Amino acid sequence: MDTRRNFIKKSAIMGAALCLPISLTRESQAAYPDLKTRAPKKALILWYSQTGLTHRYTRLIGCILKGKNFTVDEIELQETNKKTLPDYDLIIIGTPVFYYDIPSNVSEWLETIPSIKGTPVAAFVSFGGPEGNQHNASCHILKLLANKGGVPVGRDAFRNIPTYPTPKWNSANQISGQHLPNAATFDQVRRFTADMLERITRGETVSVEYELAMREGLRALPLVWMNKKAISKHTVDSQKCIGCGTCVRKCPTKAIDPFKQFVDREKCLACFGCLNNCPADAVVMEYRGERLYGFPEYLKRNKITIMEPPEFSTCG
Ligand SMILES: Cc1cc2nc3c(=O)[nH]c(=O)nc-3n(C[C@H](O)[C@H](O)[C@H](O)COP(=O)(O)O)c2cc1C
Ligand code: SF4
Ligand code: SF4
């Protein structure tokens, strides 16, 4: 039988293997079309955000670009008319990492956009923990955009509170990330924006090379299916529900009907968007028999106010 010391040693090795990227293969630098402009002025910022963390960064990027006399459209991904994408001379996309990748509704959306040949494109993800596969997730967005002729000019990942609900919201990453984003995160966003603009001026691209890490293997597992199996209860408490419709709006697959207290488990992506946005704590979810509560309730119980960048007070 393992001694406690051996067990700790093995766990540490396993943990390191999961966290450290092992570059086993390298992709050759892709050939991209020529940039359609080195002086863009009309930017589209697309965002998908379940609990507002990603959206905060797209707003900040929007403020910075407006300060540089860009015309900026900031639109939630699902609300965007795909046909308008070729009209922009810069496209930026932000999304959270879910299950070690970008959410499947985001990748499906990006697979069906029209040609954006020569348009500079930049992508970022917001993520919850250092082992979250954030690098590859951001590369995934750029690869999908490059498939449509986009030219990658920026990529980054910004760390936050992990919004994956655990019964007590006390996973190691939830504790260590509790005060994120902070001023350093917003500086990172400003650098991402400035570097992206400089790269465009110089006609340079950014690498979209995947890291081959063991966590990349986790992406291949049916994680959503496994999580749905573990969700032992998923319904709506009619006594608490105030009929605000937020859960319906946030559900990417329209799987929830709060008025019938019904969740279509086939359609559900286990994104926890309904639970994490309900203002009345009326979405009832149990994980292996343990009751979960959502992000607003977590912030309330822990008296957490998420920091806003100073730009918001001036840019509207
Ligand atoms: C269903 C779900 C799955 C998640 N999976 C991951 C993950 O694989 N890796 C990671 O780093 N963070 C993960 N997170 C944390 C989020 O990526 C992170 O908190 C993000 O900033 C949330 O952004 P949003 O507020 O814009 O939705 C997950 C969160 C949820 C709700
Ligand atoms: S019903 Fe499922 S897919 Fe819809 S928001 Fe809730 S967890 Fe996400
Ligand atoms: S978000 Fe909550 S309160 Fe609002 S309709 Fe859905 S279950 Fe009811």
- For residue range 165-219, list pLDDT tens digits in order: 999 999 999 999 999 999 999 999 999 999 999 999 999 999 999 987 767 777 7
Q: How far is the CA of 55 from the centre of ligand 2 (A)?
A: 19
- Ligand 1, atom 19: closest residue by C-alpha: 162
- Maximum CA pair distance of the chain? 67
Q: For 220-232, what is each residue's pLDDT tens digit?
A: 788 899 999 999 9
* pTM, entire model: 0.90
Cα 261 to middle of ligand 3, angstroms: 10
Give the number of the atom of ligand 1 that is nearest the alpha carbon of residue 47. 26
Question: Is the CB of 272 inside a 6 Å radius of any atom of ligand 2?
Answer: yes
Query: Which of the four pLDDT bands, split at 50, 70 and 90, describes residue 25?
Result: very low
Q: Is the pLDDT of residue 30 over 90?
A: no
Residue 270 CB less than 6 A away from ligand 2: yes
Q: How far apart are CA 277 and CA 275, in angstroms?
A: 6
* 40 backbone dihedrals φ, ψ, rounded to 5°: -65, 150
**Residue identifier of the C-alpha nearest atom 4 of ligand 2:** 251
d(CA 174, CA 43): 34
- Starting from the CA of residue 264, give the closest ligand: 2
d(CA 74, CA 46): 6
Please determine, for residue 12, whether its predicted confidence score (pLDDT) is greater than 80: no
Mutate-to-test residue for ligand 1 from 135, 141, 163, 285, highest number of ligand atoms within 8 A of CB: 163
Percent of the chain with pLDDT over 70: 90
Pocket residues: Cβ below 6 A from ligand 1: 49-55, 96-100, 126-129, 132, 134, 160-164, 271-272
Average pLDDT along the chain: 90
| Residue 188 CB contacts under 8 Å (≥ 6 apart), including other chains | 156, 158
Q: Is the CB of 236 under 6 A from ligand 3?
A: yes
In three-state secondary structure terms, 252 is coil
| Residue 217 confidence (pLDDT) | 75
Ligand 1 atom closest to 50 (CA) = 27
Residue 218: the pLDDT is: 76
Mean pLDDT, to the nearest integer, of 34-55? 97
